[in-house]
Chain A
Amino acid sequence: AQSVTQPDIHITVSEGASLELRCNYSYGATPYLFWYVQSPGQGLQLLLKYFSGDTLVQGIKGFEAEFKRSQSSFNLRKPSVHWSDAAEYFCAVGSNTGNQFYFGTGTSLTVIP
């Protein structure tokens, strides 16, 4: 069965520190992978996505993610976190038909000064 796991429910980092949010997926075919960010009371905004090709993808707001097929992972990274990055982050995997989309339960990020 298809699923997405985000092992960290909540993460706290200091402003300026590096960040890595973990995402593991289970999918029977080549996955289409996504990371979204949700600010409080807002909808979800796409940060980046991976379909094929270079396994390191760049996104908006200085984020990047690396697809590792052997580990079934798609971890999100940022070298230096800003206070405005505090939000909820969701990893997702989509089917190649575009009909099914599976989300992780999210990781809440707190940034301290």
Chain B
Amino acid sequence: SQTIHQWPATLVQPVGSPLSLECTVEGTSNPNLYWYRQAAGRGLQLLFYSVGIGQISSEVPQNLSASRPQDRQFILSSKKLLLSDSGFYLCAWSFRVRGDYGYTFGSGTRLTVV
């Protein structure tokens, strides 16, 4: 069965420090992968999505970047965090198999920039 792993679960980082959040998917190949951010009291904002290795689409310009070094690995990074980067970050993957269609989320990372 397919599973998605996201870590760490919580993170407190000082302003100006770097960031690396990792997401991996198991049990599938060539998934579409996504990074979302959920600010306090707000909906889900799509940050990046990837349809394959090295293929990254950015939905909004910001202080963050994403990379996909392997088929089932998706990394969210920042060179220097800002206070406004605080939020709840969710990784997701989508599949479409024989008429079924799904979109599954990781458990999220709570990032607090201090």
Contact = CB atoms under 8 A, between A and B. Distances in A.
30 contacts: A32-B101, A34-B103, A41-B88, A41-B108, A41-B110, A42-B108, A43-B105, A43-B106, A43-B107, A44-B90, A44-B92, A44-B105, A46-B102, A46-B103, A49-B101, A90-B43, A92-B103, A94-B94, A94-B103, A97-B96, A98-B95, A99-B32, A99-B51, A99-B94, A101-B34, A101-B103, A103-B43, A105-B42, A106-B43, A106-B44
Nearest to B104: A46
A92 to B, nearest CB: 7
Interface string A9-51: 0000000000000000000000010101000011111100101
Interface residues of A, number: 23
Contacts, number: 55
Q: Which 7 A-B pairs have the closest CB atoms?
A: A105-B43, A98-B96, A44-B105, A43-B107, A43-B105, A103-B44, A43-B108
Contacts of B6: 43
Contacts of B107: 42-43
Nearest to A103: B44
Contacts of A103: 43-44
Contacts of A32: 101
Interface in A46-100: 46, 49, 51, 90, 92, 94, 96-99
A46 B95 CA distance: 14
Given A98-B101, A103-B44, 9 more contacts: A43-B90, A46-B102, A46-B103, A51-B99, A94-B101, A96-B101, A99-B51, A101-B46, A101-B94
Interface in B1-23: 6
A101 B51 CA distance: 13
A97 B49 CA distance: 14
B23 to A, nearest CB: 11
A26 to B, nearest CB: 16
